[in-house]
Amino acid sequence: MRAKKVLVLLTLAVFLVMASGCGKGSSAPSQKETKPLTVGWAQWCTNLDPGDGYNGWYTMEFGMGETLVRVGEGMKIEPWLAESWTRVDEKTWKIKIRDNVKFHNGKILDGAAVKASLERTIGINERAPGLLDIASIEAQGNEVIIKTNNPNPSFMTSLADPFATIVDAEAAEEMGDKFKENPVLTGPFKLKEYVRDERVVVVRNEEYWGKKAELKEVVFKYIPDANTRIMALQSGEIQVADKIPAEQVELLERNKELKVLSESSGRVHMLVFNLERPGLDDINVRKAINMAINRDDLAQKVMSGTGIPAIGPFPPVLPFGGSELKGYHYDPAGAKRLLDEAGWKRGSDGIRQKGGKKLEYTFLSYKSRPELPVIMEAIQSQLLDIGIKIEINNVENISEAMKGGDFDAAIYSFSTAPTGDPQYMLETVFLTGGDNNFGHYSSEKLDALGRKLQSTFDTEERKTIAKEAQQILIDDAAFAFLVYPKIITAVHKDVEGVVITPTEWYFLNSNVGYKG
């Protein structure tokens, strides 16, 4: 009996030692690593090639892509894949690439790879040639020397744009169209699965040059309908939902299982007028529309306080935001007088007309930003009060609809200065012939300021130019700047490390964790 007791005690001791060893030295993954974070995303990529259109926004949001520099706190440029940079002269930049960076396929990132990537981007992205204006790139080991055709003060900030995501250009050449479904990038996460228009699954990059990601796997689901995203969040199907409608914020804040994250954005919701349409080619009509819109109501009532009334295109979160500019105050009586004086008289149906032309239009909207159709309905009512009739047509792809040119006006949400510099929006949206100048606006004075901005390196002077340009845009009333929306994302209480930034690009990073 004594021998049996000793044997039992020895067996128990061995078991306890083994159990203790498993608790301290086990390599078994934690629950945080084994359970993926699932995210509901409102807008979606056409493919995963960062250089193609705006797809770089998504590969960066999904934690896969990185640029040479990034927009940091205070909307200032900071190092990322580039360790440092120097402006040699007005047309020459020397950039030092960070050591020990590997692509997802194990290839080392060096100056030659950066050169090949940027040259590829310039060849396939319609915005890149104008914004970067590169004449030549020379690779020297872990450095690149880049010469621009003209002085380009916004060159380094333009390198933060996701179209400049660094890719393995050799792999892209070898893979052809397959690269669009499986890009070779450098970020803390790499692709596991891509199902077009449905989901993207990424996994931790174990050879990442920086801090290893907290999460092992993240699933991004394309859920364009806001109500469906919210129901999926409440049911636990997803743990993150982006672009929360303003009217749902209070409801979600009452849910103790959820957290609502809100941050000022660098975005503006605005109306783009097609200046080739009869009536809208009259500045008095456009000014009357601006005066008839109650921006305070849009921000406080329609958007439940999640918007800021807009003056010009740039919101106050930016150092050149136009809080002191002279904008349009809500003045429906003044709008009516202006239309009367311009010869636009009400007909028997209450709609204004002149020379046989009625002020009847179809305004485009889209639902992937759920507040936009609601804003449009409010504007529809406000314009009817002054004698302008609006029909609303919700479309799937607002940019493509406007590019076709067959539209009267459209509500459009634009990220105004995602790299922290005003030149981006001025060149692409407002200058004559800009890629996103859908309404065919043209101003010699604004073009002159745009050219001045293109050769001005002094930061304070650039701010002054940007404010002068905004006042011209306001005075010409070719657009109606409505509200600056806040970014609203809802997450499960066990999700950690999500930081909402004005650029909207840097959602998934190494610090995001999930304790569920």
Cβ-Cβ contacts under 8 Å for 365 (sequence gap 6 or more): 372, 373, 376, 392, 393, 394, 395, 398, 410, 411
What is the three-class DSSP state of 68?
coil
Torsion angle of alpha carbons 331, 333, 338, 339, nearest 10°?
120
Domain ranges of the chain: 63-169, 176-264+487-514, 267-486
- Going through 463-508 in order, the beta strands assigned E by DSSP cover 479-492, 495-496
Cβ-Cβ contacts under 8 Å for 57 (sequence gap 6 or more): 45, 162, 504, 505
Q: Which fold has domain 176-264+487-514?
A: D-Maltodextrin-Binding Protein; domain 2 (3.40.190)
User: Could you identify the residue written with the tokens 């520099």?
Assistant: 69
The strand pairing partners of 262, in sequence order, are 488
Q: Where are the alpha helices (DSSP H) in 187-258?
A: 226-235, 249-253
CATH number of 63-169: 3.40.190.10
In the numeric block, which tokens belong to residue 169? 């250009």
Cβ-Cβ contacts under 8 Å for 141 (sequence gap 6 or more): 110, 111
Q: Quick check: 395 and 364 in contact, CB under 8 A? A: yes
Q: How far, in Å, CA of 496 to CA of 503, rounded? A: 20
pLDDT band at 22 (very low <50, low <70, confident <90, very high): very low
Q: What is the pLDDT of residues 136-195, one digit of tens each?
A: 999 999 999 999 999 999 999 999 999 999 999 999 999 999 999 999 999 999 999 999
The mean pLDDT of the chain is 92
At residue 443, the pLDDT reads 97
Q: What is the mean pLDDT of residues 305-319?
A: 92
Q: What is the pLDDT of residues 408-449, one digit of tens each?
A: 999 999 999 988 899 989 988 999 999 899 999 999 999 999
Q: At what angle do helices 459-476 and 444-453 cross, to 10 degrees?
A: 160
pLDDT band at 74 (very low <50, low <70, confident <90, very high): confident
Distances (CA, A) of 437 to 273, 307, 476: 10, 25, 15
CATH 3.10.105.10 corresponds to the domain 267-486: yes
At residue 232, the pLDDT reads 98
Share of the chain above pLDDT 90, in %: 82
Check residues 190 and 246 and name the one with the higher pLDDT. 190
Q: Would the CATH topology of 176-264+487-514 be identical to that of 267-486?
A: no
Q: Which amino acid belongs to residue 52?
A: D
